[in-house]
Structure 1
Amino acid sequence: MATPAAAVGAAPAESAPAETAPTGAKVEKSKYGSYVVVMKSDPLSERFQPQQLRSRSANTERNKLKAEQGKALKKAGISNASRKNSYTNAVNGFSVVVSHEKAEKLAGDPEVMAVFPDELRQKQSLPTKSVAGDDQIRDRAGESLRSFLGLQGGKYGTKGKNDKSTRNSLDGRGTLLGVIDTGIWPEHPSFADDGSYEPVALDDETRSSCDFGGSEGDADWECNNKLVGARQMLDTYRSVVGVLPGEFDSARDDDGHGSHTAGTAAGNANVPAWIYDEDRIIDRTSGIAPRAQIVAYKALGSLGGFSSDLAAAIDQAVADGVDAINYSVGGGPGLASADAIAFLFANDAGVHVATSAGNSGPGEATIGGPADLPWVTTVGASTQPRFYSGSIKLGNGRTVKGSSVTLPSEKNLPLVDARNLGNEFCLNEAAVGADAWAQFEQGAEGAMVLCWRGVSGRSEKSLNVMDAGGKAMVLSNVTDDDNYFTDNFRVPTVMVDKSEGDLVAAYANIRNAKATITDTAEIDSFTPAPSMASFSSRGPNPSAESIIKPDITAPGVQVLAAASPAIVGDDYEPGQLFQAIAGTSMSSPVMAGYFLLMDQAHPDWSPAAVKSAVMTSAYQDVRDNDRSTPADPFDFGSGHVSALDKVVNPGLVYDSGIFDFLGFVCGSDARGDILANPDAYCAGLEDDGIATTIEDLNYPTIGVSALAGSQTVTRTVTNVTGKNATFRARVDNPEGMDITVSPSTLKLKKGESKSFEVTITNESAPVNSEFQFGAITWKGKGVSVRSNVAAYPTPFSAPSTVTGSGGSGSVEIPVQVGFSGLYTPVPGGLAENTPLTGTVEQDPDQTFGGCTADQPGVTAVPVTVAEDTAYARMAFTLASEDDIDLFLCSGDEVVAESTAGGTNELIEISQPPAGDYTLYVHGWQVVEDSLDFSVDTWLVVRGEGDLTVDPESAEVSTGDVVDVTASWSDAPSGVSFGVVDHTTDGETYGQTVVQVTN
């Protein structure tokens, strides 16, 4: 079998002679002039065990890899100074800041596997702005986070790392956490060394392993045996962005996010936490794995982080020997990226990775990247019982409760509703204008202001209230299914739901209304917990719908942990040593902490096995963000993380390795972006018995995104009970579906693995409606191993595209049907290319101004779509510095667009309505004075062309497979397209595009 790294990368261009520069290959243009280059040969993690990565022999091989990277730069005519990062451990490659033309030269090198445009990713906390002893804790009503998660004082029957006992209270000792984030505040008590931690050496000093000091406000600091290292990993960021005002040019945290995630996962136990006043201790904080040690990697600046720097941080973390990585970082979905590939090899090196699902919920299909990857653990956010509350005492004697960690307000402040001041959302002067701001100032002066959510950030509103002379704020949600936040506001603040906001507003409309904020930072209970956070991103997974995402949910609201007292742009929110904030950034380190505990308990388990243990032991009693409706697998994945005793002893695990994940890639839309020669490589995997369909990846949950009648998937489990055991399958059928498991009983010896098949059949669920959810649970003595199931019933399942060649020929299209009746395949085409031509000039402001030709840098070309057009395709590719975008309009409406970096544009529309359209060709970047263009265009009409199908129709029953043969005898020269529409009763429910090259 080929090595994993030999598979990864886009297919290289044809080799050039060694003495010449490499031939250029198409690369998507970077918005930032930065690219990540992946080399063909293996990274060191594929040749050495993690503990060997700093050996003399590994360093020798590392230097060889760097020399190969240098040769690639030299052949492309690129100065070595353009190389910003070099990767050798989890990825073999480098990043460069170069022109698009030079990037394409690199891509043509036969030793280069892929060149990716750099991406800018962001932290995944919910933004607050638009860009002592137990006797001091006053109320202990709510469960602490560790108590809620079942981590307090538990004894677990397993032998852990660095522990001679056979009954070990797991606390993370002997494990190392890598936090890739905004840096860390090293003086924080959560990261203090009490003298009892064992030393950990970070041998690699190619960059400072304890990077503090050297700039204003950045004190020198020596790392200790708790915070064993802190590296700045911002090479590309510093090159492209620089050091912005307020940023530390070191590993010091200038945001608070990195300190918070580190503290949540592995902060010291029982640290007194105060906000605003050192004498006002509101609670105690503990990391999930409080005895774990930490290495911080600052790979995010105040504007975000480049994937090239993030990949460098992953690469460095693998070399440093971390056991788990927390990655509360994300961007748009997509399986092909620098950090995605780095995590693939980090997984193979045994590193557990927790990442945030994203904060774009509660809408469907809002999972971002790299959360869409199956080789990382994707964590949603939900509420916890512990609730930091505050009260608004109204002048009429009524008390309204909400959330707060601020100080109380002055007594009996005038109460005003911002809606009555003409500034409902408490925006600043620049947003509302001088006159409106003057009105707002007049009403807010000395008052408590009721502000409403929307338009601007939460903390920004408190700053605006303060700037207007206000003394306190009530911040109201505009629905009753959002979350209660506890930001460190600029003025005393209580946040409430809409129903509570309406009560405050009603009283504020009374003359001489007054109110007082009191009893802030009280510890109460939130009875609907756990319920999903409204912001938590939901499935289905946009990159691979059959992989259920998120994987699991954990607390991510009002999470109290470390912060930074020096925040970039701290006008919005004052820097404090602690904060109780929200986001999937906050839930991800909870899972990272679990991974450390599991690594302590089972140091020989793979990341996939540990992930399986966490997922299959999860519990289902979670509500949606409305706090009443049960959540489903696209909200919480496998469920809510369980108490540790269940996670440590899961009974069975679903294990997977790097070749299994490459098999997943074979079945994904990214196979051509990630794999070199995917057809040959994937065929090799199949020959070795590796599944190459997404549905058959050995994942702890089961998804079928296109269930046409019936589908069978295969899973393999391993007995980890430590003894021989028998397990029996229990099935919870999805609505209108039937699940069968074969065999339904598994008798497994200690450590033995066996496979089973799961057949899902649609019996009565309506097709093309919605996913249906069920579960399979393996029951054994003392264990319950649950796999959630999601299936989407469809009338047809068929390939989206098939390809053929020659003037005459045929292709086979296997079509599975999910109904009983008459199936009719309807052909159209083959249609030849009819290019749309013209000339376009540079758009001075690079902004498409809508569907009108009356703007510079835009050329309009009319397009007529005839009746019965089944498929429209427009493609425009240039291997040059020009960047041309396409917008297809119907009247004033943009119906389709393509705005890829560089000029690699494609618009596809299935079943477009007949009518007159306009294709607007936009000159986002035209290098010369003007550019002559030719947009390849195919309009496939049913009944036109000589494409035929056999059979022309068939009586079918649910689950039947019809082998349709699409044939042609007189294909146009060049590339032509046809379609086969899959219909029943005159309705089209699916389409297969037929591409023919003659």
Structure 2
Amino acid sequence: MKHPLLELRSQPHKNFFQRRSRKMYRKTFDVILVLVSALSISSSAFAQAVKAPNAKKETKSYIVVMANAPIAAYEGDISGYLATKPGKGQKVNPNSTHVHKYGKVLKKSHDQSLAAAGVNASTKVNEYTFALNGYSTILTEAQVKALKTQDGVLMVLEDQMRYADTDSSPTFFCLTAEGGAYAKGFTGEGVVVGIIDTGIWPEHPSFADDDSFPLAPKLDSSRPNCEFGNTAHNANDEPFECNNKLIGARQMLDTYRYFIGARRDEFDSARDDDGHGTHTASTAAGNADVDASMLGIPHGTVSGIAPRAHVIAYKGLGNLGGFTSDLAAAIDQAVADGVDVINYSIGGIAAGPGADEIAFLFAEAAGVHVAASAGNSGSGAAALGNPGTMPWMTTVGASTQSRFFQGTVVLGNGVPYTGASITNGTGEAPLVDAEFAGGDLCLPDMLDSGLVSGKIVLCRRGTIARASKSLAVLQAGGVGMVMYDNSDDNNLSSDPHWVPSVHVDQTPGLAIKAYIASAANPTALIDAEQYGEWPSAPSMTIFSSRGPNPVAPDIIKPDITAPGIQILAGTSPQAIGGIPGEHFMAIAGTSMSSPHVAGIFALMDQAHPDWSPATVKSALMTTAHQDVRDNDRVSQADPFDMGAGHANPGGKWSKGSIAQPGLAYDASLSEYTAFTCGMEWGVIPSESCLWESGHLAPDYIK
């Protein structure tokens, strides 16, 4: 019996990247992406393999990319196999007979490529057929070399690590304006938003089903779709039945569990033990008018950008990050589930395309809108990371909004200094500089309780998590903390601290330090004022990663900016390292700005379900406003800071708005793959890229 891949390729057929031309001859190109995960699998053969001495040292996780089109892009060019690529405005149907038939032959080709390389097919970990064509597995170097030579294998990618790029936004966006999106009924009703992140806290009120949501669409049934209740691993992992708001939750951590494993305080399910995933999900699509409080202080109500959208959570990050093999599996599963929008507040080092970038290429071709964070590597040039460097991604920077959670430290001499705070205040208490009480960074177990007990402590930002400093103050007996920054550049954070705290800029911090040094008996009090105005909003944050694009310099990145600091949204009440019992937090990062754009995409998908992701992205960019300052709060931000400008979905949805932009550009899969040819990334077979007079002339441009 012939190898299924050879059976497919032996028949003359045009593929989804191909066209006829008098100057160009017919070539074959099909791309499928395969992710290689290393996880604890139930297969006995795999279990025996990983028990071998030094098995983990001798093997690595790889993603095998096959050379035939994934389900999301296959156009039916092979005799006997009808098209599975969805039509315009449609999604892949995982229950279709044609999808099952084509997917089955792809999976068979995966097994036979392994067998031909002398690798047991039972060692396969993840398998991909929708947004990618391939599989993930754990291989030795010799096995990698053998696989690369097999017919039908396009590339073998070494797995990479990715990390999380860690209210009042609807009003700030003017979505609530007369004649605006909400007034016209565009709230994300019926749209499915997929969140690839650290999981979700399903009982959170932002995801409660009040029986008013439309019936949830049917999800792919090839694996469990509401994974909660693994009490055998963690007794606090309560069972939960998904509903018409939170319609699904899947754990996608196979490679992570094999190489790193789940600690006892983590949840071995889709439940969120970090808070990051719950925060991004509730920002994009949390329910409207949810009462929010932090540390016992009420903060009114909050709403996601698309409050009527359905939510599916894909847990692709563990406590220490995630593998691209697992994340690509999440993308593949999201396409199979028929999601309309994906938020991806995740990033890694800038390099050529990895498994997740290629999976997103085909997800976009399947009609899925994707918002991704630009990264938090700061205001230096070319600081962007992957996958936000890719042209098919909508890459989001972080800027300020007008509302500012603030507190004020009032010194004993009557001088006040205002900074970021969400905590309660204090009465007047002695004030001590941590530099002379164990170290200005307030590291754990370093503060002298004899010098700190009963006092407010001045700490410098850096080295450890900000909340860890207030915990160190608490453990040393302190009653409050003033943390000063290392700059004056829009980098103040409203963290949920363990003691009453205020975060001030560097200049006031040094002034407070000078007061302590000069006063005989320095004192202070912390006044919790709650709300103020962020100066010069919107302005870029100092942490938001800037361009130029380090991977593809001709592609300007980021694409857009949105609010990404002091974003009040949901969290996990059992977040590792967090304050137990808290359901909300106000945090910062491009992780927080990206779900704002994902929510906007959900509104646009409801308003214009026939618009392609590229068209909606273009509408977002051509209607952005450029009244944005840089992180110094004075100079004008440029395109390498803010992209096209600040997202502007609000006001009346009439001519000139994002809903009727007047000018919008589409882009096809063929154009994106032509770009990859120009970059010589090997995403498609080299014979499908032709060169004439030094210029790219791919034979598949349509």
Matched with 2:170 is 146
Percentage of matched positions with identical amino acids: 48
Matches within 5 A, 1:530-549: 530-549=538-557
Cα distance in 1, alignment partners of residues 59 and 424 from structure 2: 43
What SS does structure 1 have at the residue aligned with 2:284?
A: helix
Matches within 5 A, 1:173-212: 173-212=189-228
Cα distance in 1, alignment partners of residues 238 and 620 from structure 2: 40
Cα distance in 2, alignment partners of residues 419 and 548 from structure 1: 44
Matched with 1:470 is 478
Matched with 1:237 is 256
CA displacement 1:691-719 (0-9 Å, x = unmatched): 9xxxxxxxxxxxxxxxxxxxxxxxxxxxx
Label 1:154 to 1:56 Cα distance change in 2 as closer, same or farther (>3 A): farther
Label 1:678 to 1:403 Cα distance change in 2 as closer, same or farther (>3 A): farther
CA displacement 1:312-343 (0-9 Å, x = unmatched): 00000011111110000000112321011100
Matched with 1:485 is 493
Cα distance in 1, alignment partners of residues 413 and 646 from structure 2: 42
Among candidates 268, 285, 309, match of residue 266 of structure 1? 285
Matches within 5 A, 1:485-504: 485-504=493-512
What code does the residue aligned with 1:481 have?
D
CA displacement 1:967-988 (0-9 Å, x = unmatched): xxxxxxxxxxxxxxxxxxxxxx
Cα distance in 1, alignment partners of residues 32 and 409 from structure 2: 59
Cα distance in 1, alignment partners of residues 439 and 58 from structure 2: 37
Higher CA-based Rg: 1
Label 1:35 to 1:642 Cα distance change in 2 as closer, same or farther (>3 A): same
Cα distance in 2, alignment partners of residues 516 and 31 from structure 1: 58
TM-superposed deviation, 1:583: 0.3
Tell whether 2:53 aligns with 1:42.
Answer: no
Cα distance in 2, alignment partners of residues 643 and 113 from structure 1: 41
Matched with 2:124 is 83
CA displacement 1:76-118 (0-9 Å, x = unmatched): 2223332111101011111001212212222211111111000
Matches within 5 A, 1:789-828: none
Tell whether 2:330 aligns with 1:317.
Answer: no
What code does the residue aligned with 1:261 have?
T
TM-superposed deviation, 1:688: 5.5
CA displacement 1:114-145 (0-9 Å, x = unmatched): 110000100000xxxxxxxxxxxxxxxxx921
Label 1:267 to 1:569 Cα distance change in 2 as closer, same or farther (>3 A): same
Q: Which moved more, 1:50-59 or 1:89-98?
A: 50-59
Cα distance in 1, alignment partners of residues 326 and 438 from structure 2: 45
What SS does structure 1 have at the residue aligned with 2:306?
A: coil
Matched with 2:139 is 98
Cα contact 1:32–1:118 (8 A) shared by 2: no
TM-superposed deviation, 1:356: 0.5
Matches within 5 A, 1:717-736: none
TM-superposed deviation, 1:674: 2.0
TM-superposed deviation, 1:71: 1.3
Matched with 2:230 is 214
Tell whether 2:521 aligns with 1:512.
Answer: yes
Cα contact 1:264–1:287 (8 A) shared by 2: yes
TM-superposed deviation, 1:428: 2.5
Tell whether 2:663 aligns with 1:652.
Answer: yes
Label 1:31 to 1:517 Cα distance change in 2 as closer, same or farther (>3 A): farther
Q: Which moved more, 1:534-543 or 1:48-57?
A: 48-57
Tell whether 2:74 aligns with 1:74.
Answer: no
What SS does structure 1 have at the residue aligned with 2:72?
A: helix
Cα distance in 1, alignment partners of residues 59 and 314 from structure 2: 22
Matched with 1:366 is 383
Structure with the greater relative contact order (CA < 8 A, sep ≥ 6): 1 or 2?
2
Among candidates 591, 608, 630, match of residue 585 of structure 1? 591
Matched with 1:155 is 179
Cα contact 1:380–1:584 (8 A) shared by 2: yes
Matched with 2:276 is 257
Matches within 5 A, 1:289-368: 289-368=306-385
CA displacement 1:889-913 (0-9 Å, x = unmatched): xxxxxxxxxxxxxxxxxxxxxxxxx
Matched with 2:29 is 6
TM-superposed deviation, 1:628: 0.7
What code does the residue aligned with 1:321 have?
G
Cα distance in 1, alignment partners of residues 459 and 311 from structure 2: 40
Cα distance in 1, alignment partners of residues 201 and 417 from structure 2: 37
Cα distance in 1, alignment partners of residues 669 and 295 from structure 2: 48
Cα distance in 2, alignment partners of residues 566 and 672 from structure 1: 42
What code does the residue aligned with 2:274 have?
D
Among candidates 659, 665, 683, match of residue 674 of structure 1? 683
CA displacement 1:553-592 (0-9 Å, x = unmatched): 000000000100112244xx55621000000000000000
Cα distance in 1, alignment partners of residues 372 and 470 from structure 2: 31
Among candidates 643, 650, 655, match of residue 637 of structure 1? 643
Matched with 2:434 is 418
Label 1:346 to 1:154 Cα distance change in 2 as closer, same or farther (>3 A): farther
TM-superposed deviation, 1:548: 0.3
Cα distance in 2, alignment partners of residues 689 and 252 from structure 1: 44
CA displacement 1:596-652 (0-9 Å, x = unmatched): 011111110111000000011111111101111111000001011113332111101
Matches within 5 A, 1:925-936: none
Cα distance in 1, alignment partners of residues 548 and 476 from structure 2: 44
Cα distance in 2, alignment partners of residues 336 and 9 from structure 1: 14
CA displacement 1:181-228 (0-9 Å, x = unmatched): 000000000000011101113332322100000222100000010000
Cα contact 2:32–2:70 (8 A) shared by 1: no
Matched with 1:528 is 536
Cα distance in 2, alignment partners of residues 260 and 593 from structure 1: 13
Label 1:394 to 1:330 Cα distance change in 2 as closer, same or farther (>3 A): same
Tell whether 2:103 aligns with 1:62.
Answer: yes
Structure 1 gaps of 5+ residues are 11-28, 126-142, 161-166, 430-436, 692-998
What code does the residue aligned with 1:119 have?
Q
TM-superposed deviation, 1:518: 2.2
Cα distance in 2, alignment partners of residues 368 and 580 from structure 1: 24
TM-superposed deviation, 1:51: 4.2
Cα contact 1:245–1:568 (8 A) shared by 2: no
Matched with 2:20 is none
Matches within 5 A, 1:695-706: none
CA displacement 1:772-820 (0-9 Å, x = unmatched): xxxxxxxxxxxxxxxxxxxxxxxxxxxxxxxxxxxxxxxxxxxxxxxxx
TM-superposed deviation, 1:672: 4.2
How many residues align? The count is 632
Q: TM-score normalized by structure 2?
A: 0.86
Label 1:633 to 1:30 Cα distance change in 2 as closer, same or farther (>3 A): farther
Matches within 5 A, 1:100-119: 100-119=141-160
Structure 2 gaps of 5+ residues are 1-13, 18-27, 34-55, 75-83
What SS does structure 1 have at the residue aligned with 2:676?
A: helix
TM-superposed deviation, 1:266: 0.3
What SS does structure 2 have at the residue aligned with 1:44?
A: coil
What SS does structure 2 have at the residue aligned with 1:209?
A: coil
CA displacement 1:838-859 (0-9 Å, x = unmatched): xxxxxxxxxxxxxxxxxxxxxx
Cα contact 2:72–2:92 (8 A) shared by 1: no
CA displacement 1:510-555 (0-9 Å, x = unmatched): 12222222225x1221131101010000000001111000000000
CA displacement 1:658-677 (0-9 Å, x = unmatched): 00001111221xx2432322
Cα contact 2:219–2:338 (8 A) shared by 1: no
What SS does structure 2 have at the residue aligned with 1:38?
A: strand
RMSD: 2.2
Tell whether 2:623 aligns with 1:623.
Answer: no
